[in-house]
Amino acid sequence: MSGKKVMDKLLQGFVDSYPAGCGCIVTKDGEPIYEGYFGVADPDTGRPVDENTVFRLFSSTKVIICTAAMKLFEEGKFLLNEPIYYYFPEWRDTKVVKYKPDGTFTIEPISRPIEIRHCFTMSMGIGYGGNDETHRVANEVRRNLRERVGDYTLREDIREMAAVPVAFEPGEHFLYGFGHELVAGLIEVVSGMTVGEYLKKNIFEPLGMKDTGYRYFGDIRERMISICTRDESGNIKKMEGGSFWDRNHEPTAKYEAGGAGLFSTVRDYSKFVAMMANGGTYKGERIIGRKTIDLMRRNQLIQTQLREFQGTYNAGYGYGLGVRTLMDPAAAGSNGTIGEFGWTGMLGTYCNIDPDENFSVTYMHQMMPNREEYFHLRVRAAAYGLL
């Protein structure tokens, strides 16, 4: 059976069993060697998934954000070992929660500043959720900000979150969370543009990513795929409260996040990952330097952090500057290349970028739960089977 038929059969099997619809593009040397779309974007109307279907990227946004920031790094706009308070003075006096064996705690000054690298590598100390003191204060800070100003901006969020005590000394542990909001804020500070403006001018327009952004424009709203789940009988149904997920896509919204928030098509996003796989160039135009990409995909975690990062889904991987990076194919059970890198999104988006082979994979579905380990690792295996 040819590689294309294998991919077709795999993805058709996906939609027969779980996702309402999905799409995938695999590129080699900047050109698609596979493109396929299966299932429906709207189970109520039967609208099919195709090259025009728009997906919410959620954390797949992070790869674009960190690439944009590293483009500014290679322009000399900042250094990775600089304290973030150079760019956000309100973070100069950051505190840390120190827990005692009996569960009580004290709040003390950090012994070393949060560096920009800690924000890229998710080791700055504020995660996305939890019931510890760090997250209790974070929730309170954001609740107060919302009550005071309503819909707030990224920069307002960063300013207020400076009051949150971090969960550990910077660089000690891996904690997935707020770091990439600071990276996005850094883009704004050093470029003089909003994140959305910078991405549009320096990433989306040069790559011809005409269907990617934070806010609805044109017919994007009508082309957005539904967020779905399966009920106990296995029937596909739309998730309730869909407007909650999409509130920041409204033209009146203000927040442009670093950790999530973009939408795109499979075809648009594949242009970005193909550019990264091609050493930072697209159709002869350099977007970012090859050696900068090499730095991004180099593991940055110490052994303690690797143990905290690696589970079955990330087995064999380390974490670089905003991306997972393959260190041990045997441990990962992967037929991929050491140094391939990428990330995923909460609703099922996935990318794999392999500069050594000039090879990339973009896969997307929109389901809750996303069941990423089952679907993404099978896509990874089948895509590499095309080589």
pLDDT at 380: 98
- pLDDT score of 103 more than 90: no
pLDDT at 244: 72
When pLDDT is cut at 50, 70 and 90, the band that residue 131 belongs to is confident
**Interval 166-207: pLDDT, tens:** 999 999 999 999 999 999 999 999 999 999 999 999 999 999
What is the predicted pLDDT for the residue at 243?
Answer: 65
Mean pLDDT of 259-277: 98
**If pLDDT is split at 50, 70 and 90, which confidence band does 248 have?**
very high
The domains located in the chain, with CATH, are 3-73+210-384 (3.40.710.10), 84-191 (no CATH)
pLDDT of residue 305: 98
- C-alpha 121/C-alpha 112 separation (Å) is 16
Give pLDDT, residue 1: 62
User: Do the strands 105-109 and 317-319 form a parallel or antiparallel pair, or are they unpaired?
Assistant: unpaired
Q: Is the pTM of this model over 0.85?
A: yes
What is the average pLDDT across 153-168?
A: 98
Query: pLDDT tens digits for 340-383?
Result: 999 999 999 999 999 999 999 999 999 999 999 999 999 999 99
Rounded mean pLDDT of 102-127? 96
For residue range 12-59, list pLDDT tens digits in order: 999 999 999 999 999 999 999 999 999 999 999 999 999 999 999 999
User: What integer pLDDT is reported at residue 242 of this predicted model?
Assistant: 62
Query: What was the pLDDT predicted at 195?
Result: 98
Residue 308 has pLDDT above 80, yes or no: yes
User: Please, are residues 293 and 279 in contact by the beta-carbon 8 Å criterion?
Assistant: yes
Q: Taking 80 as the threshold, does the pLDDT of residue 241 lie above it?
A: no
Average pLDDT, the chain: 97
CB 96 within 8 A of CB 165: yes
- Across the range 95-101, mean pLDDT stands at 94
